[in-house]
């Protein structure tokens, strides 16, 4: 992009000065989110105005349609809905959510998509993610001094197509140009590879708030090759919080608690978990019940989850036909790897001390920022090369509800693969395709991604038609499926992008609503500022009247001012920003004379004082 | 029918044996040149070409690094996907032996017999090694017909090995 051109005098040709592209890496996490930018090959996390680097992935929706993100969203009052950990709902249906959440969900009957019930009406998890993204982008824009040209957003490696598409939709709603969806462990490997010059066969163990990923990678001469990935897109620190909260409920014999109480209980559980990183025991409270929660109990609750992650590690090694002995290093990523228990069990499993020299909360965002810099076009030639893989197998449904895998899991992307199918009945002119993702044999156990039909197949006997179904996965891991009939030379093809139950017009609607709500938020902010401004004026004027009202003003003058002040005080409690502004202005001009007189009196008094002082000195 | 030569695409000699380090190096070199990440500022047709070519490179790499698929590809190249003579029939002895191995696998799965599992694994691994020696010999003699027969046997054995892996996975899960 051309920023400005310089034409030298007498020279017809202009020389172009190319502006460096503004790019950021965003780690959109379950519990916390971050944004980082790269400058001259070094990435850094951008803090907010208060110096906070982590943005809690929490959004508060209010009845008037406004919202708040992050730390500010955590303070509850009666008329708000606080949404946390909504990343777990991205691209999911109600049937996928098998645990208690501190808010109610509803499902769109037609599209099977989850909505969260709030005081502002139903909100899509895509909308929540978009609101978090916008808040992060504001930080990056402030740091880089302008609009962003593009972002790299990280996703758990084990996210399926629907979850990836939902993340992309959130970015669209937030008005972002997504350069790449990058797998979180891959991003972490980039940070370690470029910053710490790590080489060899590396395991990235990434246990976050809501997701677990394990990636086996080979880092060699600037090539970052993913050999195999595994994990669970619904397993993380949140589950441990829930296990603790449930333990507290069970021990105290409490049942049937409100969403708000459960939310507080989860917060208490999280705090207790963090305290036990250093302490041996801590006190937990439910109503009148209280008890000592020990490290031993915590570890008992945690172990089942950690063992599940280690099983995934074993499978990943197997997928790559490697053993623990082949692993050069193990890298810890994600806040939950701060737990001494997790570190201990990972160390036992791999037989080596895991690395965590880069802050496990920040490493993913840092790697994303480095890759964003490359993908925005700021770096060429010697840039690192990432070879990533598909986390799950892709296939189509065949007779009997079976899953015919066309692309096996851990295939390096981009890739294209085709398979031929044929008709089942004589004269069959329509063939329908149902695309699935997953490892199981039956499509009912896999995730449905898309469904489409190929029409206009010329009449032929059963088995004579040759229908070629082609899958193309791009470097983002996004899929396009085509089908065409080959045998007669008549070609008809269709391109589908898997949906996650969110239609194009839903996304468009959200984009519009977000613009409206941005205007609303702005109006609210401006009203609040005017109210504060009016209050400030009234306070200082009141003080001035108390002091000098009797001596410097005539009773009529004083009466006029006091009337105006009362009017403004009333207006300031209301919502009419224009009226507040007008009255503030009037009061300002009406009190100007009074202010002038006070100043004169002040100077006189000061001079009188000076005389006294100098008199004293001369004495 | 023409067959795409994946050896040529990755700049590798057409051979049943393969130098893995050389394969990796050739693959990385080409990926570094063609990967879509290198074409972020390019025109749409160039981007499309990069996408297609890296897809092809990945395909070629996957086929060449897997010994069985590499051998299949080698035979396809030499016979252009078709043989004048129908593929030879597998000997009854071999088939009988396969049947027995499968029955043994079922028994092991049923009884969760881990000792017998390792023994069966060793038997399968040894048969595979032996079969690969035969395969190399047939190829060096340009005897494509017998090489095809050998390939079929290898397919049987790899299938069995897959099922062994599958069983171990199931044991690990529980």
DSSP-assigned letters across all residues of A518-565: HHHHHHHHHHHHHHHHHHHHHHHHHHHHHHHHHHHS-HHHHHHHHHHH
A23-237+300-387 CATH, one of 3.40.190.290, 3.30.70.2970, 3.30.420.40, 3.40.50.2300: 3.30.420.40
* pTM across the whole model: 0.77
Task: Tell me which chain B residues have a C-beta less than 8 angstroms from the C-beta of A472.
Answer: 51, 55
Q: Which residues contact residue A373 at a Cβ distance below 8 angstroms, ignoring those fewer than 6 apart?
A: A23, A37, A38, A41, A43, A379
Cβ-contact A209, A233 below 8 angstroms: no
What's the pLDDT at A13?
Answer: 42
Nearest to A165 by CA among A414, A496, A454, A513: A496
CATH number of A506-613: 1.20.1270.10
Active site residues of A: 27, 87, 184, 206
What's the pLDDT at B134?
Answer: 92
Q: Which of residues 458-517 of A touch B (CB under 8 A)?
A: 472, 474-475
Question: Which domains, from first to last, does chain B contain?
Answer: 6-79 (1.10.287.110), 92-173 (1.20.1280.20)
Q: Counting beta carbons within 10 angstroms of the beta carbon of residue A572, is it exposed (0 to 12), middle (13 to 18) or buried (19 or more)?
A: buried
Instruction: Collect the ranges in chain B with pLDDT lower than 50.
Output: 1
What's the pLDDT at A340?
Answer: 93
A18: contact with B, CB 8 A cutoff: no
A394-502 CATH, one of 3.30.1330.20, 2.60.34.10, 1.10.3720.10, 3.40.50.1820: 2.60.34.10
3-state secondary structure of A499: coil
Residue A83 forms beta bridges with which residues? A59
Residue A571, number of CB atoms within 10 A of its CB: 21
Q: Which of residues 33-62 of B touch A (CB under 8 A)?
A: 35-37, 40-41, 51-52, 54-56, 58-59, 61-62
Q: How many CB pairs under 8 A join A and B?
A: 59
Give the chain B residue whose CA is nearest to the CA of A312. Answer: B173
Q: Which residues contact residue A261 at a Cβ distance below 8 angstroms, ignoring those fewer than 6 apart?
A: none
Most A CBs within 10 A among B51, B59, B169, hence the mutation to make, goes to B51
**Is B55 in Cβ contact with A414 (below 8 Å)?**
yes
Domain ranges of chain A: 23-237+300-387, 394-502, 506-613
What's the pLDDT at A65?
Answer: 79
Kindly report the backbone phi and psi dihedral angles of residue A387, in degrees, each rounded to the nearest multiple of 5, phi listed first. Answer: -115, 100
Strands A58-62, A105-107: pairing is unpaired
Q: Which of residues 177-216 of A touch B (CB under 8 A)?
A: 179-180
How many residues are recorded in chain B? 174
What's the pLDDT at B82?
Answer: 59
Q: Which residues contact residue B113 at a Cβ distance below 8 angstroms, ignoring those fewer than 6 apart?
A: B107
What's the pLDDT at B27?
Answer: 95
Task: Tell me which chain A residues have a C-beta less than 8 angstroms from the C-beta of B23.
Answer: none
Q: What is the ipTM of this complex?
A: 0.82
B165: contact with A, CB 8 A cutoff: yes
Task: Tell me which chain B residues have a C-beta less than 8 angstroms from the C-beta of A314.
Answer: 172
In this complex, which of B31, B52, B59 lies closest to A387 when CB atoms are compared? Answer: B31
Averaged pLDDT in 10-residue chunks for chain A of 619 residues: 38 52 94 92 89 92 86 75 88 77 75 79 90 94 91 92 88 91 93 87 93 92 91 88 93 85 90 92 91 94 94 90 94 93 96 93 95 83 81 86 88 90 86 86 83 83 86 83 80 57 62 63 71 81 85 88 90 84 86 84 68 43
């Amino acid at each position: 992009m051309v920023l400005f051109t310089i034409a030298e005098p007498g020279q017809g040709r202009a020389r172009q000065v190319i502006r460096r592209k503004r790019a950021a890496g965003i780690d959109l996490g379950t519990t916390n989110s971050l944004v980082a930018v790269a400058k001259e090959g070094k990435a850094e996390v951008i803090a907010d105005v208060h110096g906070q680097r982590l943005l809690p992935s929490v959004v508060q929706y209010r009845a008037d349609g406004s919202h708040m993100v992050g730390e500010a969203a955590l303070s509850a009052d009666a008329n708000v809905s606080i949404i946390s950990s909504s990343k777990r709902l991205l691209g999911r249906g109600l049937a996928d959510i098998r645990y208690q959440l501190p808010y109610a969900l509803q499902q769109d009957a037609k599209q099977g998509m989850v909505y969260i019930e709030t005081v502002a009406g139903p909100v899509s998890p895509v909308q929540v993610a978009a609101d978090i993204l916008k808040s992060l982008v504001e930080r990056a824009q402030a740091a880089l001094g302008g609009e962003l040209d593009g972002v790299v957003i990280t996703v758990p490696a084990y996210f399926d197509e629907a979850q990836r598409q939902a993340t992309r939709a959130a970015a669209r709603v937030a008005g972002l140009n997504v350069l790449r969806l990058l797998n979180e462990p891959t991003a972490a490997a980039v940070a370690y590879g470029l910053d710490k010059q790590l080489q060899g066969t590396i395991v990235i163990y990434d246990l976050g708030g809501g997701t677990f990923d394990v990636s086996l990678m080979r880092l060699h001469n600037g090539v970052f090759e993913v050999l195999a990935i595994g994990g669970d897109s619904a397993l993380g620190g949140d589950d441990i919080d829930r296990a603790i909260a449930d333990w507290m409920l069970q021990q105290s014999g409490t049942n049937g608690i409100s969403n708000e109480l459960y939310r507080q209980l989860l917060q208490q559980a999280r705090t207790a978990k963090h305290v036990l990183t250093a302490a041996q025991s801590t006190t937990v409270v439910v109503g009148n019940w209280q008890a000592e929660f020990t490290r031993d109990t915590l570890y008992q609750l945690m172990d089942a989850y950690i063992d599940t992650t280690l099983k995934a590690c074993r499978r990943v090694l197997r997928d790559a036909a490697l053993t623990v002995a082949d692993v050069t290093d193990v890298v810890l990523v994600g806040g939950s790897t701060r737990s001494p228990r997790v570190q201990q069990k990972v160390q036992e499993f791999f037989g080596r001390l895991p690395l965590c020299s880069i802050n496990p909360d920040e490493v993913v965002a840092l790697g994303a920022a480095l890759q964003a810099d490359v993908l925005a076009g700021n770096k060429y030639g010697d840039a690192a090369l990432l070879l990533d893989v598909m986390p799950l197998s892709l296939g189509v449904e065949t007779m009997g509800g079976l899953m015919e895998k066309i692309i096996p899991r851990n295939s390096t992307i981009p890739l294209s693969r085709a398979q031929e199918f044929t008709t089942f009945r004589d004269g069959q002119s329509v063939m329908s395709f149902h695309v699935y993702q997953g490892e199981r044999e039956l499509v009912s156990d896999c995730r449905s991604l898309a469904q489409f039909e190929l029409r206009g197949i010329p009449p032929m006997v059963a088995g004579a038609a040759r229908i070629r179904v082609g899958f193309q996965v791009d470097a983002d891991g996004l899929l396009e499926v085509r089908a065409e009939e080959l045998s007669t030379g008549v070609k008809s093809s269709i391109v589908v992008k898997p949906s996650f139950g969110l239609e194009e017009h839903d996304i468009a609607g959200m984009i519009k609503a977000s613009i409206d709500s941005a205007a609303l938020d702005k109006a609210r902010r401006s009203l609040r500022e005017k109210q504060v401004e009016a209050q400030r004026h009234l306070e200082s004027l009141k003080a001035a009247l108390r002091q000098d009202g009797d001596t410097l003003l005539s009773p009529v003058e004083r009466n006029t001012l006091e009337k105006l002040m009362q009017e403004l005080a009333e207006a300031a409690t209301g919502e009419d920003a224009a009226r507040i502004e007008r009255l503030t202005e009037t009061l300002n001009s009406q009190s100007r004379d009074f202010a002038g007189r006070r100043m004169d009196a002040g100077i006189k008094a000061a001079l009188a004082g000076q005389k006294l002082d100098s008199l004293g000195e001369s004495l | 029918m023409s067959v795409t030569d994946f050896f040529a695409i990755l700049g590798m000699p057409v051979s049943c044996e393969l130098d893995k380090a050389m394969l990796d190096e050739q693959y990385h070199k080409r990926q570094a040149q063609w990967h879509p990440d290198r074409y972020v500022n390019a025109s749409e047709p160039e981007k499309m070409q990069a996408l297609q070519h890296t897809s092809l490179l990945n395909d070629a790499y996957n086929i060449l690094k897997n010994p069985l698929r590499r051998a299949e590809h080698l035979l396809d190249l030499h016979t252009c996907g078709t043989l004048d003579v129908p593929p030879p029939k597998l000997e009854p002895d071999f088939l009988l032996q396969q049947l027995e191995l499968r029955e043994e696998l079922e028994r092991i799965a049923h009884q969760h017999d881990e000792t017998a599992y390792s023994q069966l694994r060793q038997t399968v691994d040894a048969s595979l090694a032996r079969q690969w020696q035969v395969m190399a010999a047939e190829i060096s003699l340009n005897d494509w017909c017998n090489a095809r027969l050998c390939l079929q046997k290898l397919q049987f054995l790899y299938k069995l090995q897959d099922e062994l892996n599958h069983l171990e996975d199931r044991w690990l899960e529980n």
